[in-house]
Structure 1
Amino acid sequence: MRRKLLFGERMLLGDGTEPFNAVIPFRLRGTFKEEDIQYALSRLQDKHPWLRALIHHDENNIPWFEVLENHLPIPIRIVPRKGEDDWQEESRKEWQTLFRYGEQPLLRFIWIKGEEVSDMLFSFHHCLCDGGSAVAFLYEFLTILDHPSAEIGVENPILGIHDVVPEAILTSRSQKLKAKVIGRVAATAIKCIPVGKKAVERQNDYLIHWKFDKEISKELISYCKSQEVTVNTFLSVVLLQAFKKVRGASAFNKVSCPVDIRRFAPQIKKDHIFAFGLMIVVSSDDKMSFSDNLWMTQESVERKTSKLNPYITMMVMESAHDALKNFTKLLKHGKSSNDCMFSNLGRIEIPHQYKEFTLETIFSPSVIGPLGNTTTMVTSTFNGEMDFSFVGSEGYLPYSEALAIRDEVIQTVKEQLDPISVL
């Protein structure tokens, strides 16, 4: 089984010399055997073909996912658990560790082994899948680890754009023309945009982590419902305000928010291994109050989201493979124009208590790569607690400013929730 990488996957893959890795860490209370972990990982590979795949280039240097008959197991790296924050150090290590994608799967497993408590990490190349896919195979892994004979099904993998875009759209003469024209215009524009000769020096990468307890998390969700805005919108406005307060004139007043393509393309199932995403950008108005900004931003988000078209977007991108080099160069060498990428995975629907162990927490995934500004905040909610991973690089956002932004986010959230706690 094999398929060509799509445009977005090729962009994330790069030339193989720079990692673009994501990590999803979690904490288990219980005792485990390596052979049981390896078995659970092998069951994941049995279900998902692309977890068995390597990447090979053809004679035209086009990369392909290729599933070999005698596939290689997902590698396990075991380190002794010394403290509560070991998972952060191992996350940073995994960001920097290249995937030898022609020789090993695009997924690794790290076991920070303790006597009663273990932290575990899935590390994967971002061209393999997104955070939604990672949560899906995390759920399957835990299911098998607890109950080895459990049935998790078999994925019917996406083999190309034809498995996502309906045939009527994909073969439509007008839609094909539209995609080609937009693709050519975009490719020409990208070629004409001036970029620097050197990419920004990233310097040291860092991870800042925090949680809201169950009480604050519950109040935050209740507040958003009372204001008729989403948690995503609320946190975006909080983040924009924090960047403005800390960075002043250096803030861009722009936060990029990924939108799950599964909302618009039902062909892509929750458990599909897939990396393609959609994006909107949100901004706030300094002249408005916090509440007015919430409502204005919510309207803007709904308007922009309603205009998203995953099918034509994919068709445009697939028509522009020859512009990949220029597009990548623009992302790497162009000036940053947004403050941060903010991704909210929402409530993670994975059980907390299992027969053989307890899933104490899931830490929000982190991701970092070479395509421009690395500043990213990811949040998720598990077992009633909202968790935050804030990733960045000194060359884009100094660590001291990132800490100040974190403090502003926490303070602003608590200030907005205070009237509820008083009542």
Structure 2
Amino acid sequence: MKRKLLFGERMLLGDGTEPFNAVIPFRLRGVFSEEDIKYALSRLQEKHPWLRALIQHDDKNTPWFQVPEITVSIPIRLVNRKSEDDWQEESKMEWHSTFDYQTKPLIRFVWIKGEEVSDMLFVFHHCLCDGGSAMALLYEFLKVLDNPAAEIGLENPILGIEDVVPEHILKSVKKRFKAKTIGRLAALAIKCIPVGRKAIDRQTDYLIHWKFDQATSKQLISHCKSLDVTVNTFLGATVLEAFRKVRGSSAFNKVSCPVDIRRFAPQIKDDHIFAFGLMIVMSSNQKISFLDNLRLMQDEVERKTAKLNPYITMMVMESAHDALKNFTKLLKRGKSSNDCMFSNLGRIQIPDQYRAFSLETIFSPSVIGPLGNTTTMVTSTFRGQMDFSFMGSEGYLPQAEALAIRDEIIDRIRQQLNYQEAS
């Protein structure tokens, strides 16, 4: 079984020399054997063909996912647990470790082993899967780890764009012409945009983590409902305000927000291994109050989201493979135009109690790569607690400023919640 990498996957893969890795950390209370973990990982590979895949290049240097006849097991790295924060140091180490994708799968596992509590990390190359796929894999892994006989099914994998885009759209002369025209114009524009001679030196990467307790998280969600805005919009607006307060005129007043393609393309199931993303940009009106701004931003988010078209977007990108080199160069060498990537995974619906162990927490995933501004914030909610991971690099956003932005976000949220209580 094999398939060519799509445009977005090729962009994330690069030439393989620079890692673009996503890390999903979680904490379990219980006692485990390495054999049990190996078995659970093997079951994931049995279900999902692309977890067995290596990457091979054809005579045109085009990369393909290719499943070998003999499965190469998911590598496991064992670390002795010394502190509560070991998972952060191991996450940063995994960011910088490349995948030998010609001989090993694009997934590996880290077990930070303690006597009663273990932290574990799934590590993926970002070209393999997105956050939604990662959460599905975590759910399946825990299910089998608890009960080796558990049924998790078999994935019917996506073998190309034709498995995502409906046939009547893919074969439409009008839509194909539209996609190709947009793709050609975009390729020409990208080629003409001036870029620097070399990529920005991102220097030292860092990870900042914090969590709201259940009471604060519940109050925040309730506050957003009372304002008739989503948690995503509220947090996005707060992030923008925090960047403006800390960075002043250096702030861009823009955050990029990934949108799960599964909302628009039902052909992509929750447990599909897939890495294609849609995106909208959020900005705020700096001349009006925060609350007035929230309502305007919510309307704008809804308008932009409604206009997203995953099918045409995929067709446009697939028509522009010859522009990949120029596009990658633009991302690496072009000037940054947004403050950060902000991704809200929402409520993670994975059980926390199992027969032999308990899932104490899921830390929000972290991801960092070589394609331009690395500043990224990911939030998720598990067991009623809102969790934040804030990644960045000194060359784009100094850690001292990132810490000040974190403090500003926390303070602004608490001020809003206190104001709600008082009113």
Q: Same fold (TM over 0.5)?
A: yes
Maintained 8 Å contact 1:219/1:420: no
Q: Deviations over 1:155-179 (max 9, x none)?
A: 0000000000000000000000000
Q: Offset of 1:422 from its aligned partner?
A: 4.3
Match of residue 63 from structure 1: 63
Q: Deviations over 1:303-324 (max 9, x none)?
A: 1001100000000000000000
Secondary structure, aligned partner of 1:101: coil
Q: Offset of 1:3 from its aligned partner?
A: 0.1
Match of residue 143 from structure 1: 143
Q: Distance in 1 between matches of 2:383 and 2:422?
A: 25
Matches within 5 A, 1:112-261: 112-261=112-261
Aligned-partner residue type, residue 371 of structure 1 = L
Match of residue 367 from structure 1: 367
Match of residue 328 from structure 2: 328
Q: Distance in 2 between matches of 1:58 and 1:396?
A: 36
Secondary structure, aligned partner of 2:286: coil
Match of residue 414 from structure 1: 414
Q: Offset of 1:419 from its aligned partner?
A: 3.0
Match of residue 291 from structure 2: 291
Q: Offset of 1:264 from its aligned partner?
A: 0.2
Q: Distance in 2 between matches of 1:268 and 1:20?
A: 23
Q: Does 1:399 align with 2:393?
A: no
Q: Distance in 1 between matches of 2:391 and 2:112?
A: 21
Match of residue 387 from structure 1: 387
Match of residue 46 from structure 2: 46
Secondary structure, aligned partner of 2:314: helix
Matches within 5 A, 1:273-352: 273-352=273-352
Q: Distance in 1 between matches of 2:421 and 2:355?
A: 37
Secondary structure, aligned partner of 2:123: strand
Q: Distance in 2 between matches of 1:386 and 1:358?
A: 19
Aligned-partner residue type, residue 268 of structure 2 = I
Match of residue 353 from structure 1: 353
Q: Distance in 2 between matches of 1:136 and 1:257?
A: 21
Q: Distance in 1 between matches of 2:103 and 2:413?
A: 46
How high is the TM-score relative to the length of structure 1?
1.00
State how many pairs are aligned.
Answer: 423
Aligned-partner residue type, residue 64 of structure 1 = W
Q: Distance in 1 between matches of 2:166 and 2:265?
A: 9
How high is the TM-score relative to the length of structure 2?
1.00
Q: Offset of 1:87 from its aligned partner?
A: 0.1
Q: Does 1:24 align with 2:39?
A: no
Q: Deviations over 1:43-74 (max 9, x none)?
A: 00000000000000000000000001101000
Q: Distance in 1 between matches of 2:417 and 2:209?
A: 21
Q: Tell me, which stretches of 5 or more residues in structure 1 are unaligned? A: none
Q: Determine what percentage of the aligned residue pairs are the same residue.
A: 76
Match of residue 37 from structure 2: 37
Q: Deviations over 1:168-192 (max 9, x none)?
A: 0000000000000000000000000
Aligned-partner residue type, residue 296 of structure 1 = L
Aligned-partner residue type, residue 252 of structure 1 = F
Match of residue 263 from structure 1: 263
Aligned-partner residue type, residue 274 of structure 2 = F
Match of residue 81 from structure 2: 81
Moved over 2 A (4+): 419-423
Report the aligned-residue RMSD. Answer: 0.6
Secondary structure, aligned partner of 1:305: helix
Q: Does 1:101 align with 2:101?
A: yes
Q: Distance in 2 between matches of 1:75 and 1:17?
A: 19
Q: Deviations over 1:245-292 (max 9, x none)?
A: 000000000000000000000000000000000000010011110101
Q: Distance in 1 between matches of 2:171 and 2:417?
A: 51
Q: Distance in 2 between matches of 1:359 and 1:202?
A: 35
